[in-house]
Chain A
Amino acid sequence: AQKVTQAQTEISVVEKEDVTLDCVYETRDTTYYLFWYKQPPSGELVFLIRRNSFDEQNEISGRYSWNFQKSTSSFNFTITASQVVDSAVYFCALSEARAGGSYIPTFGRGTSLIVHP
Chain B
Amino acid sequence: NAGVTQTPKFQVLKTGQSMTLQCAQDMNHEYMSWYRQDPGMGLRLIHYSVGAGITDQGEVPNGYNVSRSTTEDFPLRLLSAAPSQTSVYFCASSSTGSEQYFGPGTRLTVT
Rounded to whole angstroms, the CA-CA distance of A52 and B35 in the bound complex is 23
B40 touches A104 (CB 8 A): no
Known: A43-B88, A44-B105, A91-B43. A105 touches B50 (CB 8 A): no
| Residue on A nearest B56 in the bound complex, by CB | A100
Which stretch (B14-22, B68-76, B79-87, B92-100) binds chain A?
Answer: B92-100
Known: A43-B88, A45-B102. A102 touches B50 (CB 8 A): yes
Rounded to whole angstroms, the CA-CA distance of A93 and B94 in the bound complex is 14
Rounded to whole angstroms, the CA-CA distance of A35 and B43 in the bound complex is 13
Q: What are 12 pairs between A and B in contact, CB < 8 Å?
A: A6-B42, A33-B97, A35-B99, A45-B90, A45-B102, A50-B98, A93-B100, A98-B56, A104-B31, A104-B48, A105-B100, A106-B45
Interface residues on B, range: 20 to 34
Q: Assuming A50-B98, A102-B50, A109-B40, what are 5 further A-B pairs, CB within 8 angstroms?
A: A9-B40, A43-B104, A45-B90, A45-B100, A47-B101
What are the residues of chain B within 8 A of A100 when measuring CB–CB?
50, 56
A104 touches B99 (CB 8 A): no
Of B31, B40, B42, B44, the contact of A103 (CB 8 Å cutoff) = B31
Rounded to whole angstroms, the CA-CA distance of A98 and B47 in the bound complex is 13
What are the residues of chain B within 8 A of A9 when measuring CB–CB?
40
Nearest CB on B from A25, distance (A): 13
A104 touches B43 (CB 8 A): no
Q: At the interface, yes or no: B33 with Cβ under 8 Å from chain A?
A: yes
Nearest CB on B from A64, distance (A): 15
Rounded to whole angstroms, the CA-CA distance of A105 and B33 in the bound complex is 10
State the 10 A-B residue pairs at the shortest beta-carbon distance, nearest first: A109-B42, A107-B43, A45-B102, A47-B99, A102-B50, A107-B42, A104-B48, A110-B42, A103-B96, A33-B97
